[in-house]
Amino acid sequence: MPNGGFGCAYCQFYSPGKCHLRGAKISIDHWTVCANVTYLPNGPTRVTDYLGYKPLDTTGVEIKGSISSITSDLAMYTEVPWLENQEILSTESEFPCLLCNRKRVPTKYIEWNGAEVYFCSYEHYLTWRDERILAGEAADTLTNSKLLSYAVHFNSLKIIKENTTPEERQRALRREFWRKTFRRVRKIAVIVLLVIIARALNDFF
């Protein structure tokens, strides 16, 4: 996680690839969170680093809210809730949005009832998601089709406030933002350089 660790990878209900509390498959444990994240007694540490580690007993544990993926696709860290135990994913391939038929890369999609459902944006995904919940097709928490800022929402959770300071979280968020910005600029610079070299070789020969 961008602030040093409170995703599924640090939760006592987790073992590699699976949340034992919710029965969900977890593909990216550092970028997946929920309000049930429970640290080891000595603080946030990757649970699988402990020899003989076993997930906590889930008997009687109340499931709170939705599972969420954290994305920086929108130039800021944003919380995007799953629908039940189905993860919201993205692909570089183009597919028409279910709601507006528009194509945009990366395309957002979710596997639902045995099929992949595609969206041009997280906003359209959330609109569709709320419709499924209101229609009684899914049991989950409504968002009223609004995205939440990761920094605002998850930094307000008690478990996170107890283990990190606001300054540490903000510094980590800034570091990760500039790392991603640098990678994007570097990628563009490499592409531009290759184009220049290709043109120079073409002129030479």
What's the confidence (pLDDT) of residue 52?
Answer: 67
Q: What is the pTM of this model?
A: 0.65
What's the confidence (pLDDT) of residue 1?
Answer: 42
DSSP class of 199: H
What's the confidence (pLDDT) of residue 29?
Answer: 85
Pair type for strands 78-81 and 88-91: unpaired
What's the confidence (pLDDT) of residue 54?
Answer: 81
| pLDDT per 10-residue tile (average), the chain, 205 residues | 62 89 90 85 68 81 90 75 93 93 91 95 92 93 73 47 54 69 88 87 77
What's the confidence (pLDDT) of residue 95?
Answer: 95
Instruction: Identify the CA nearest to 143 among candidates 155, 128, 126.
Output: 126
For residue 92, the one-letter residue type is E
What's the confidence (pLDDT) of residue 152?
Answer: 45
For residue 174, the one-letter residue type is R
d(CA 95, CA 114): 17
Q: Name 18's bridge partners.
A: 15, 25
